[in-house]
Amino acid sequence: MARSTRRADLLDFAVLGLLHESPMHGYELRKRLNTALGAFRALSYGSLYPCLRELLATGWVSEASQRPGHAGSRRARIVYELTAAGKEHFQCVAEGAGPSAWDDDGFDVHFAFFARTTAEVRLRILEGRRSRLEERLATIRETSARNRERADAYTAALQRHGEESAEREVRWLEELISAERSAPPPV
């Protein structure tokens, strides 16, 4: 039984991360999720509101009733804020626990919250992502070598473009890794 209905971990994580900044209501959370983070390009209310309900039930966020005197206050909005347990859970996931810190989507979200982690954690995630991409590159190169004859010009161009994109991301990661390494130690 224990931790039964917990899932949608990535969305939870992203919401907690945004609430770290400041309390927010659903409508605004969705806008931020769709613009700021790389993943969640088209997140709908049908996902977000049930997620918020679950975060409430788990105790990771709480309802902060909107002050009526708030400047230019509109209709009653439900403002959510992080609880201590929520902060704790966020830190735990941010450090790389939970799955998917180097997936395409998971990585973007983790990266977006790098400011709340230590250099050690950042290095671990950047390097994990890099080796994930290098595995991908190895597969691409291997199969494109094997399929050299079978493939027409368009298929080949597509594979080549995918390969170059992955190579580009590896170089980007390498820059970030050496930047982290050469950063002044926090002592």
Name which of residues 45 to 84 contact DNA (CB under 7 A).
45-47, 49-53, 72, 74-75, 77-78
Question: Judged by CB under 8 A, does residue 26 bind a copy of itself?
Answer: no
Name which of residues 61 to 100 contact a copy of itself (CB under 8 A).
none
Residue number, 80 or 111, with CB nearest to DNA = 80
We find the least distance from the C-beta atom of residue 152 to DNA, in angstroms, to be: 24
DSSP codes joined into one string, 108-120: HHHHHTGGGS-HH
Report helix, strand or coil for 24.
strand
Question: Judged by CB under 8 A, does residue 147 bind a copy of itself?
Answer: yes
Give the C-alpha separation, 107 to 13, whole Å: 12
Binding site for a copy of itself (CB under 8 A): 35-36, 38, 108, 111-115, 139, 143, 147, 151-155, 157-159, 161-162, 165, 168-169, 172, 176
